Amino acid sequence: MATLPALDDSTFDEAIKSSGEPVLVDFGATWCGPCRQLAPIVEGIAKDYAGKVKVFAVDIDQAPKTAQRFGIRSVPTLILFKGGEKAGQIMGLTSRDKIVKQLGL
């Protein structure tokens, strides 16, 4: 998993709803190879766009209720939230450019 701030079932809602910035959540798992490949890309976006977007990680094994609530059936899955509401989703290993385009940055 990424070295991003981690959210779980008890912290997810507050982190998403309290943000004045768009929030990108990387849903993954420690056993997932593509998740490990995507992690440095997402971490780079978090660093490069600090102050414009907040980026968090959710380990689906540590947050099963949250994963179920958002219908996470495969990992990695990225979900973008704006104003506390789901605004976009990307499933699977993807490029930095596609993620940045989804963010609208």
* 3.40.50.720, 3.40.50.12780, 3.30.565.10, 3.40.30.10: CATH of 6-103: 3.40.30.10
Strands (E), the chain: 6-7, 23-28, 54-59, 77-82, 85-91
pTM over 0.85: yes
Task: Give per-residue pLDDT as tens, 30-61.
Answer: 999 999 999 999 999 999 999 999 999 999 99
Average pLDDT, the chain: 95
By annotation, the residues acting in catalysis are 32, 35
Task: Give per-residue pLDDT as tens, 13-29.
Answer: 999 999 999 999 999 99
Domain boundaries, the chain: 6-103
| Gyration radius of the chain's alpha carbons | 12
